[in-house]
Structure 1
Amino acid sequence: MAVFVNPYGIYVFEEIIRTGADSQLRFKVTEWMPVLLPYVSVSYVAITVALVLAFKKRAWKAIFSIPSLTLLMTISSIRHLPVFVATSVRYLEYYQGVLINKLKAIKPTKEINRVVWTSLSVLWIFVIISAVVGVRGSIYQPEKYPTKAVAYLKENSCKGNIFNSYNYGGYLIWQLPDAKVYIDGRMPSWVNNNQNYFNDYLDFINKEEPRKEQIKKYNIRCVLVSNDEAYPKNNKSQPLGEWLIKNNWESIKPASSKSYSLFILKP
């Protein structure tokens, strides 16, 4: 019954299915990208699977285990990697011990022994350092968020609604709880009357006509986006930032940085 204790109730399963089946997320949102993209994830998955296949008797039975289920989830989306690690780490530890015992039993020459242990040590050091770097990058760092833009908006509240980058939604809800933001991490797969909000979000960034319609429809008076979205490289159409400035929007330099820009519609 505990599974139903959540804000969605029984509809949590609808949310799971809709999110899992949303192909837009796979290559647009980092946490939903396939696990084959980050090399540290591939290292852990490859080592664990290889050890199980090599040393588990009747390895095919592992297909029906919980680690196999979480492995499929992880291959689908990198956000599930911690779940796979939690369910598989004891297998990794056990079969690593089996490997070490087998290597000891072989009694190789000192030269071969040194090569084997050096290789294993380098491999594990690589995995550990990569993991630490990845975790460090996930820790809250103020410079990753639009701190100056938020400080500006606290002093000069937006006269309408805010269009924001997907990655900034949660931060804005936290820092500006009274402001109405455009999108956050809960919303990419939401659909209303066959209208997908994440598609609308991409249309605003990339297409002029949908952008005009949404500015009017949602009374958007402030735009806070990453510079990768405002001034994308190799963009065939006019970049969002240039279009805004050309159409009576002001770039607020004191509230912008090298990673994001704040634009406000002039009176």
Structure 2
Amino acid sequence: MEAINKESKKKRTELFVGVVLFLLIFFAALRVPLDTDLFWHLKAGSVSLAQRAPLLQDQFSFTRFGSPWVNHSWLSEVIFYLIFHYFSHRGVMIFVAILATATMWLIYHQMQGSALTRAFLMILALLVSALVWSPRPQLFTLLCFAILIPMVNQFDLQPNRRNLLSIVLLFVLWSNLHAGFSIGIAFIGLYFAGRILENIVFKSENQLSRGKIGSYAGLFFICILAVCINPNGLNIWKVQFDTVAITSLQMYIDEWASPNFHDLSQQPYLWTWLLFALLLAINERRLKLQKVLPILFFGALGFLSKRNFAPFAIVIFPSMSELCVSFYNSHIKDRIENMQDSRLTKLGQIQPKPIIQKILNLAVAAILLFIIAGKIIYLGDDTVMNAYENKLFPKQAISAISGHGIPSGNVLNSYGWGGYIHWKSNDIKVFVDGRTDLFGDEIIDDWIEMVYAGANWRQLIEKYQIEWTFLEKNSPINQTLLDNGWRIFYEDNLASILIKN
């Protein structure tokens, strides 16, 4: 009877900790649903729905107008647009929080140890991952990646057709949601390379047969082909290399930059590495190579670009929980059992009556739900949304030029505002927006040269026949243009619109 009560108490504790943890994660994931890329995704989604086919040609810029566009996120764009259309910003905010929380739940589900140990690690995982929780198709990649890892583990145990088909179907869906499926392909390759090395180097008890190695290779190559089942066909692989090859990304686009550990919000990534190193140092048990190789690979990607923090969190925290359990069993468990008669232990065993504990648990959950509801109501309010939109985007400038007439000719616009501009106005074809793979190094480098008033700004203004600019008020080119005869058409605290005389 005592054992049954102990087990029942353990399950109640795990349930309570889990509910509180994920309510807190959901609360943290509720954010103002505004992002520089959101608007061109919404616009592309609306066009795809209107023409009842994925948008595969550029319609939004004059620099690439009519060019083929590998729209790898067409399905997620349609999903985001439908949610926005029917539920406005509040619906997008809740949807983003659901995707983020579901991803974190999948990490939690793969972890070992007590509820409190997993909760501690999950808080750190939240701090690492939260940097990329914004209304973008990238969230689907994180969710699919978190789904993939246990599926690969299951395939390793049972490499049958059913497990193979499940993984392949996931990749087909993934390749229509976002081009981040490449991290899944990389994970499969690294996992099975580690599995084979583990067998060779450490003479694993579970010896690999040639047939099983063949099943690993088969899965890897089938998934490479499966992602081509999308409207872009083989070009879906082209966008991977086009994006990585753009040298301007890390220099001028914040999310692609290497982490800055002087920024407190980016330090949890470093804390995770330090804790991981400590756990390895104090542990007698080592991690298997099929877990080590993905950790090293995605960890290295995180040092190259902070947008890779979240995939790293997905692969490392289950392994960190494994190390925590191993250390507990080796060094702490026996000591705790030997302390059963201590006063401290007896004090810890004092529990309120079950009915009182149940009321307290429900009260905590109810308070958290009330706070979450308040945050949803507040952040989704039109007044609050308008305030944030006016602060982050040139809403007033768009209204002003729409009312007084949009200047004629080609525009040199802010990179971050490109999607917002053509979302708000069908009459403006932008110079550039967040679709870096479409514009490539040539156009982005020319944009940088002009906006920062480089040596060739005048020739480039003539090359692209720029007649007006729509940039941040503090853009370096603004004063240069004013000194060369341009005049202010509109200006406020955020934006400045200049036109040629």
TMscore range, shorter length: 0.5 to 0.7
- 2:471 corresponds in structure 1 to 225
> Whole-Å Cα distance in 2 between the matches of residues 64 and 90 of structure 1?
14
Give the distance between the partners of 1:8 and 1:72, measured in 2 at CA.
Answer: 30
Partner residue in 1 for 2:422? 173
Q: Tell me the residue number matched to 2:296.
A: 68
CA deviation after TM superposition for structure 1 residue 73, in Å = 2.1
Instruction: Give the superposed CA RMSD.
Output: 3.4
Whose strand fraction is larger, Structure 1's or Structure 2's? 1
Mark the CA change 1:243 to 1:59 in structure 2 (over 3 Å): closer, same or farther: same
Q: Check whether the contact 2:302–2:312 (CA below 8 A) recurs between aligned residues.
A: yes
After TM superposition, list the pairs within 5 Å mapping 1:51-90 onto structure 2. Answer: 51-56=275-280, 57-59=285-287, 61=289, 62-65=291-294, 67-90=295-318
Q: Which amino acid aligns with 2:474?
A: D
> What secondary structure is seen at the aligned counterpart in 1 of 2:499?
strand
* Alpha-carbon distance in structure 2 between the residues aligned to 1:22 and 1:59: 36
CA shift for structure 1 position 201 = 0.7
Is 1:32 aligned with 2:256? yes
Q: Distance in 2 between matches of 1:226 and 1:23?
A: 23
Q: Which of 442, 445, 458 does residue 199 from structure 1 map onto? A: 445
Cα separation, 1, equivalents of 2:229 and 2:459: 39
Q: TM-score, normalised by structure 2?
A: 0.39
User: Is contact 2:242–2:437 with CA below 8 Å preserved after alignment?
Assistant: no
Aligned to 1:215: 461
Could you tell me how far 1:16 is from its partner in structure 2? 1.9
Does residue 250 (structure 1) correspond to residue 496 (structure 2)? The answer is: no
> Could you list the runs of 4 or more consecutive aligned residues of structure 1 that deviate by over 4 angstroms after TM superposition?
5-8, 92-107
Counterpart amino acid of 1:257? Answer: D
More helix by share: 2
* Aligned mates of 1:199, 1:173 — CA distance in 2: 21
Query: Match for residue 274 of structure 2?
Result: 50
1:187 lines up with 2:436 in the alignment: yes
Residue number in structure 2 paired with 1:233: none
Report the 3-state secondary structure (helix = DSSP H, G, I; strand = E; otherwise coil) of the residue aligned with 2:493. coil
Please give the alpha-carbon distance, in whole angstroms, between the structure 2 residues aligned to 1:213 and 1:94: 60
Greater RCO, CA 8 A, separation 6+: 2
Instruction: Give me the whole-angstrom Cα distance separating, in 1, the residues matched to 2:472 and 2:231.
Output: 30
Pairwise CA distance, 1:37: 4.7
Q: Distance in 2 between matches of 1:219 and 1:24?
A: 23
Shift of 1:263: 1.0
CA distance in 1, matches of 2:316, 2:411: 43
Distance 1:81 1:173, change over 3 A: farther
Once residues 100 and 229 of structure 1 are traced to their aligned partners in structure 2, the CA distance between those partners, rounded to angstroms, is 56
1:260 aligns with 2:485: no
Q: Is the 8 A contact 1:189 1:198 kept in 2?
A: no
User: Where in structure 1 are there 5+ consecutive unaligned residues?
Assistant: 111-135, 231-239
Deviation at 1:97, TM superposition (A): 6.5
Partners of 2:425 and 2:297 lie apart in 1 by 39
Query: What is aligned with 1:147?
Result: 395
Is the alpha carbon distance of 1:6 and 1:202 closer, same or farther for their aligned partners in structure 2, counting shifts above 3 Å?
farther
- Aligned AA (1:26): Q
For the residues of structure 1 that align with 2:241 and 2:435, how far apart are their CA atoms? 14
Structure 2: 5+ residue stretches without partners: 1-170, 173-226, 345-378, 380-384
**Deviation, structure 1 residue 40:** 4.1
Shift of 1:217: 3.2
Shift of 1:11: 2.5
Change (3 A) 1:40 1:207: closer
TM-score, structure 1 as length reference? 0.68
Tell me how far apart the structure 1 counterparts of residues 494 and 408 of structure 2 sit (CA, whole Å): 24
Structure whose alpha-carbon radius of gyration is higher: 2
